[in-house]
A and B are shown apart, each in its own frame.
Chain A
Amino acid sequence: MHPVTAARDRSAVSYALAAPHMTATAPTIPHETLTSRLLETAARMGIVGFARFISGAGARWINCQPDVNQRIYFANHTSHLDALVIWSLLPPQCRALTRPVAARDYWEKGRVRPYLAKHVFGALLIDRQNIKVHQSPVDLMLREMGDRYSLIVFPEGGRSTDGELQEFKSGLYYCAKKRPDLELVPVHIDNLNRVLPRGEFLPVPLLSCITFGPPIWLEAGEPKTAFLSRARESVRRLRDL
């Protein structure tokens, strides 16, 4: 079974527990036909090729190697293409186990985006407007990860307009606190905001660069603000390497 399909089954289980607007994917897919599987594979290959071509992205791994163990990739957010490009640049084995966390309001619009989010890269959609205390996004993310998947998150919470890193939201800290075994891998995205700036829908094929840095962990007793600024710095310093 393809991991994305597995993720869907898992989410079907979690659906019963979570509030309806919180679930990552639709509750059940009744019939998984061969045609739809082939279509998904083709779409996946197409989208990976497209993302790599349009972003002209080169991946740099600095003191970090691609691996299938559980990770949270956290990156600066510059463009709608961010998650897609990072996901596409991972080697296939890692890609199959990695799910981007994305905004529900953007990825549920139209016909193409929901299909891509659900079937092609198994995105974990988070409702930005309707956050409840007892079903926080952090809980949802950790439950969806299980003991198998990795996530791509953007702790700034939104796209920056001037290319500077904003303050990180606290979700990353709570993830690290609840699951101290996860590797937190900083990722820096360079120049992708020029490929697809805010408010544009047609990408211009410039060259961008994605840098993966050495993983960080939450230190014992480290305060929230100290950890978040350390995480932010770990992304920022990749720009100058």
Chain B
Amino acid sequence: MTVDWYSFWIFTTLLMALTAATVVGQMLRRRTELGVNPAVVEQFNQRTRAWWMMTAMLAVGFLLETPVVTVVLFGFLSFWALREFITLTPTRTADHRTLFWVFIVFTPLQFYFVSTGNYEVFTVLIPVYAFLFIPARIALAGDYKRYLERSATIQTGLMICVYCLSHAPAMLYLQIPDYNEFRLLLFFFIVTALSDGFHYVCEKTMGRHLIAPAISQSKTWEGFLGGLGCAALCGLAFAWASPFDPLQAAVMAGVISAMGYCGGLTMSAIKRDRGVKDYGTLLAGHAGVLDRIDSICFAAPVFYHFTRYLVVP
């Protein structure tokens, strides 16, 4: 294996950042006299753990030099997120067979096509075939009560948890000349994680004007713009690891940050609608996967396509 120093350094950076986040999180947890809200600290630590897990998923694929492992691991993540989503949304008994297809056929099939690198198929499988199949199958079951609502919730779940998330491992199959695609995914991870962190810090320090008070009491314009600016700077700082020139990298990081923010806002709206605080408390004893990957879900497909327009010949 030829040593790819760029990949090595970006991996090291990510590991150092995660170690720092873990140390800070554990310190805040132990030193209660600092007066930081324990719930917030716990949330931060859970998020850090999720990032460790995703980095490990990427590292396994990277070390084995095969993206398939990463695709499979993301497939499981998707599956779990979809479980949480569908558990949260009300479906009726008549939707049972539809859900069976969604879980057992469409989800694995989507990740299978991602792993074959078949762009033409994996980008249309869910928006075309699954989206037509779902309402038809529900109609076939013969229960018309809240028909549109039921089709829409199942479609939304499949879209966010499976289709959008599958674009993260799909980045490994972009054919960028003279470039190791693992670095692209690492760049994406680093920018998303830091942007999440910056959003939070900016909201706590400068937050004044709420974006949508009815949906979230913590999301502010200051947090959004501050996070976006910081993320763009991060993009600039990590441009060496990306296939972009510095300006492009900054814009891309801004796009990731904005989309990630939209993801968080959308998930908050869904949670408000269903009257739960976070997906972790939905059914006691479960960790909320959806809470931690909301920003990735929204940022991944947009980042994927922008990269494709920009650098894939």
Contact = CB atoms under 8 A, between A and B. Distances in A.
Interface of A: 56, 58-60, 190-191, 194, 197-198, 200, 202, 204-209, 211
Contacts of B145: none
Interface string B225-239: 000000000000000
Nearest to B287: A58
A204 B93 contact: no
A59 B285 CA distance: 7
Contact of A209 (B96, B103, B284): B284
Contacts of B284: 58, 60, 209, 211
B123 interface: no
Interface of B: 79, 83-84, 86-87, 91, 93, 96-97, 99-100, 103, 282-286
B103 A204 contact: yes
Contacts of B285: 58-60, 209
Contacts of A209: 283-286
A2 B97 CA distance: 39
B100 A202 contact: yes
Given A58-B286, A202-B100, A204-B99, A191 B93 contact: no
A197 B96 contact: yes
Given A205-B103, A206-B83, A190 B283 contact: yes
Main secondary structure of the interface of A (DSSP, over half): loop
4 shortest interchain CB distances as A-B pairs: A58-B285, A209-B283, A207-B87, A204-B99
B161 to A, nearest CB: 13
B286 A200 contact: no
B286 A207 contact: yes
B300 to A, nearest CB: 23
Contacts of A194: 87, 91, 96
Contacts of A60: 284-285
Contacts of A204: 86, 96, 99-100, 103
Contacts of A200: 96-97
20 contacts: A56-B83, A58-B284, A58-B286, A59-B285, A190-B283, A194-B87, A198-B93, A200-B96, A200-B97, A202-B97, A202-B100, A205-B79, A205-B103, A206-B86, A207-B87, A207-B286, A209-B284, A209-B285, A209-B286, A211-B284
Contacts of A202: 97, 100
A45 to B, nearest CB: 21
B152 to A, nearest CB: 18
A205 B91 contact: no
Nearest to A203: B100
B290 to A, nearest CB: 11
Contacts of A56: 83, 87, 286
Q: Which of B84, B93, B103, B283 has the most chain A CB within a 10 Å cutoff?
A: B283
A211 B282 CA distance: 14
Nearest to A208: B283
Contacts of B103: 204-205
A192 to B, nearest CB: 11
Contacts of B84: 207
Q: Which of A194, A198, A209 has the most chain B CB within a 10 Å cutoff?
A: A194
A205 B282 CA distance: 16
A56 B284 CA distance: 12
Given A59-B285, A198-B93, A209-B284, A191 B99 contact: no
B283 A197 contact: no
A221 to B, nearest CB: 36
Contacts of B99: 204, 206
Q: Which of B79, B93, B96, B282 has the most chain A CB within a 10 Å cutoff?
A: B96
Nearest to B91: A194
A190 to B, nearest CB: 6
A76 B7 CA distance: 54
A211 B283 CA distance: 10
A238 to B, nearest CB: 11
B100 A191 contact: no
B83 A205 contact: yes
Given A206-B86, A207-B83, A191 B96 contact: no
B93 A207 contact: no
Contacts of A198: 93
A204 B96 CA distance: 7
Contacts of B86: 204, 206
Given A56-B87, A198-B93, 8 more contacts: A56-B286, A58-B284, A60-B284, A200-B97, A204-B99, A206-B86, A209-B283, A211-B284
A96 to B, nearest CB: 23
